[in-house]
Structure 1
């Protein structure tokens, strides 16, 4: 099977590429570095030639609602139109648990993406997953005031990105399924504890204060709105196991 991966060098996409190839599939990686732009459409038709399925793990670094919606709607419409032209029979999109009604601008972008996929011309599967274990690494790197790292208070049930990637490949080689069961990690974690544990594994010994983010989006992080429901499938690797393996 030929699998095209949008965002194939990202946190999940790179794992998708490796796993798909390890299972014997032909893989086309759609990235700007290869001259393929999923927003403008440059190079997309050629990259999708002969593909049976597209896995969309593309992302954008923004918390702005309008920018997130513009990216996810634009990329999805571009991909779906190209898929229809060249005869791709299955579109698999990665989304996030808890996006419905969220105040987060990024999450609203994912809701817009889901709507485009659901109303599009190509049979589809959407997988919602919780935050990745790698989220602690991202927060450690980005949440800073001067030299001080910050740890936002958040209830989360994180999962290894590699496990999400494996599930995406499983779904891609199966028939289109619509909304697949949500995917989450094996247990709930505190993001504050995750960030501090990640920092300690790096040898950081400074103070990392816990903070509560303001507004509705901050309340969602703390009140459990972003945790999986009872029907979710659970991964195996805990955050502590992931940290020991990767650090």
Structure 2
């Protein structure tokens, strides 16, 4: 198969590209660094030509409006009329759409559903690397802050494999969600990552306000009982060297 991957240099997209190549597929990376701008459309038509499936694992750029960004990417991809579009989304994005990142993913899903292109939506939970992101984002002087959140982190390489599995299969609409093997506390994850990375500074729990903060704490962002479960735990990921 010829598989085009939007965001093929990002975390999940790079894993999908590696796995697809290992399985013998021809991979086309759709990224600005490869001369393809899926928002403006530059280079997209040539890159998408002949693709049997397109995986949209694209990520927003700093300063972008997430909803507008994802809608533009879907519009560009749909214009090439690929036989199958696989969209990487987030578990619970519809229940926390007030938060721009989650709202952007929900807008991306709706754009795929109305694109006229056969599609599969693949929702996953946050990756293990989320702990490192929160540690960086929560830095304030000598302290680190982490939101209280119930989460079910999954290994990004397992997400990459899932995306390729779905690209190889027929369009499925909304596919079963994918989560990690067990529920975790985000605060514990961030503290464990801080120790493992040598950050050595206190991590202070906080409650975010609004509907998004409540969704973080009440389990709304956890996968349901019908979701697929990954294999690697967060602690195993830490032991492996992050």
Q: Which TM-score band applies after superposition, normalised by the shorter structure?
A: over 0.9
5 Å-filtered alignment, 1:67-216, equals 67-82=65-80, 84=81, 88-102=82-96, 103-216=98-211
CA RMSD of aligned residues (A): 1.4
1:27-67 per-residue CA deviation (whole Å, 9 max, x = no partner) reads: 000110111001011000111122110000001156x9x81
Matched residue SS, 2:3: strand
Segments ≥4 residues shifted beyond 2 Å: none
Q: Partners of 1:67 and 1:147 in 2: how far apart?
A: 31
Q: How many residue pairs align between the two structures?
A: 241
Q: Partners of 2:27 and 2:152 in 1: how far apart?
A: 30
| 8 Å Cα contact 2:154-2:179 kept in structure 1 | yes
Which residue in 2 is equivalent to 1:48? 48
| 8 Å Cα contact 2:4-2:28 kept in structure 1 | yes
Matched residue SS, 1:150: strand
